């Protein structure tokens, strides 16, 4: 069956201080995105080097091309500026062939931020067909024995990042009524919950399986401090992804998991609001990973509308506090820096985009601002 989407209500109206900070952030984003597109037309930089976007910087995998188009859509919708609308459509068209890409697990990142926004702006079913096609392609990564969608890295590898992409398969199932798509998405979420989320609510980055038997073998990490650490961006993916899984399925286990992951994030980060790359790393050289905070803010706001109890206010308040903190001068970049958010990291272990701006950090920052400011909630 295709699972229904649960409604979501926004529990709080953001304070005036949030709106003032958000207006400043949108003005900066508009200026920086225009400059980027004009300086590097038709390119998809992942991260900055010394604050300057680099078109051909080393990449670990090919997963970020939707985030620039997604930012253009957000600014186009906010401003009504035809310049941004034309470029949003153009950058979306540039990545359309990726709907058949079977080499990555990130098709949700590519098409949810671009073609899904295009469909919502127009209601044109041809735009949604591209999203559904990408969801079908992603479902082909499913390992039947282990009941998981494999990561780009290896057939025996499951990443927590995939929880932030599996929604596109739920969407394809809901649109088409295909029960097998719904099964694949649902079983992947159950497996991720079982093998990646620990008893304290922390999330492992990666799980490894025996391909012959489908048996889960161990937790490990490609991004965190060590295998039993707590990589902050992965934690944020889990908050958002399990919340979305609950919205599509109504399975309370996913809501409980999202809350456990959120409570861990809040307890380990506290009043600092912005986490390091991994909370378990002793005396980290870099104190902040702003892209994890931006992702978590959106996931916490979604969760605040799902729990329907006293926890809602705490999650919503924390999301707003994160975003106000990111709008302060030490994170929101000035004219000397080309990205929007400073102090983000792509891959600390590999030395890629460390303490820079990253394209997904800027996207999820704007997406969270947009979600909180809008009356109502877009589709998951």
pLDDT tens digits for range 98-152: 999 999 999 999 999 999 999 999 999 999 999 999 999 999 999 999 999 999 9
- The per-residue pLDDT for 13 is 66
- pTM, two decimals, is 0.96
Contact assessment for residue 99 and residue 133, using Cβ atoms and an 8 Å cutoff: yes
Residue 293 is classified by DSSP as H
Element (H, E) at 38: helix 16-39
Burial string for 326-354 (b: 16+ CB within 10 Å, else e) reads: bbeeebbbeeebbbbbbbbbbbbeeebbb
Q: What is the pLDDT, as a whole number, of residue 293?
A: 98
**Low-confidence spans in the chain with pLDDT less than 70:** 1-13, 375-380
Give me the pLDDT at residue 81, please. Answer: 98
69 closest CA partner among 99, 30, 114: 114
CB contact at 8 A, 345 and 354: yes
How far, CA to CA in Å, does 33 sit from each of 15, 176, 219, 355?
27, 35, 39, 20
Which residues are bridge partners to 352 per DSSP?
347
Sheet bearing 206-209, strands edge to edge? 157-159, 206-209, 216-220
What was the pLDDT predicted at 323?
A: 97
- With residue 221 as reference, give the H or E element that holds it: none
Q: What is the DSSP letter of 343?
A: S
User: In 3-state terms, what secondary structure has residue 326?
Assistant: helix
Identify any residues that bridge with 53 across adjacent strands, giving them in sequence order: 48
* Full DSSP string of 13-32: PPPHHHHHHHHHHHHHHHHH
Q: What are 106's strand-pairing partners? A: none
What is the structure's pLDDT at 308?
A: 85
Q: For 297-311, how does the pLDDT look when each residue is reduced to its tens digit (9 = 90+)? A: 999 999 999 998 899
């Amino acid at each position: 069956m295709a699972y229904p989407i649960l409604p979501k209500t926004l529990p709080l109206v953001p304070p005036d201080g949030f709106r003032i900070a958000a207006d400043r952030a949108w003005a900066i984003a508009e200026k920086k995105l225009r400059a980027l597109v004009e300086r590097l037309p038709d390119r998809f930089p992942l991260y900055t080097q010394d604050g300057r976007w680099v078109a051909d910087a080393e990449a670990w995998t090919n997963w970020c091309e939707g985030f620039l188009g997604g930012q253009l859509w957000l600014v186009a919708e906010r401003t009504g500026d035809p310049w941004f609308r034309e470029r949003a459509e153009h950058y979306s068209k540039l990545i359309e062939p990726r709907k058949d890409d079977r080499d990555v697990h990130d098709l949700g990142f590519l098409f949810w931020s671009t073609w899904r926004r295009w469909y919502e702006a127009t209601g044109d079913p041809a735009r949604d067909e591209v999203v559904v096609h990408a969801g079908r392609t992603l479902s082909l990564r499913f390992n039947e024995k282990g009941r998981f969608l494999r990561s780009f890295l290896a057939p025996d590898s499951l990443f927590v990042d995939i929880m932030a992409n599996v929604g596109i398969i739920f969407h394809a199932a809901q649109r088409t009524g295909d029960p097998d798509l719904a099964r694949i998405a649902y079983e992947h979420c159950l497996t991720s919950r079982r093998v990646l989320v620990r008893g304290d609510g922390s999330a492992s980055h990666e799980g490894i399986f025996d391909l012959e038997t489908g048996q889960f073998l161990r937790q490990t990490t490609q991004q965190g401090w060590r295998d039993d650490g707590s990589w902050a961006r992965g934690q944020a993916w889990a908050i958002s992804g399990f919340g979305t899984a609950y919205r599509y399925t109504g399975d309370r286990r996913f809501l409980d998991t999202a809350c456990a992951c959120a409570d861990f994030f809040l307890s380990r980060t506290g009043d600092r609001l912005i986490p390091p790359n991994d909370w378990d790393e002793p005396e980290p050289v870099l104190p902040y990973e702003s892209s994890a905070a931006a992702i978590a803010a959106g996931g916490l706001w979604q969760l605040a509308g799902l729990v329907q109890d006293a926890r809602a206010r705490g999650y919503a308040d924390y999301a707003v506090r994160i975003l106000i903190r990111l709008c302060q001068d030490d994170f929101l970049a000035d004219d000397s820096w080309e990205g929007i958010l400073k102090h983000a990291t792509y891959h600390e272990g590999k030395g890629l985009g460390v303490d820079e701006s990253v394209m997904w950090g800027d996207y999820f920052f704007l997406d969270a601002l947009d979600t909180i400011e809008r009356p109502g909630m877009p589709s998951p």
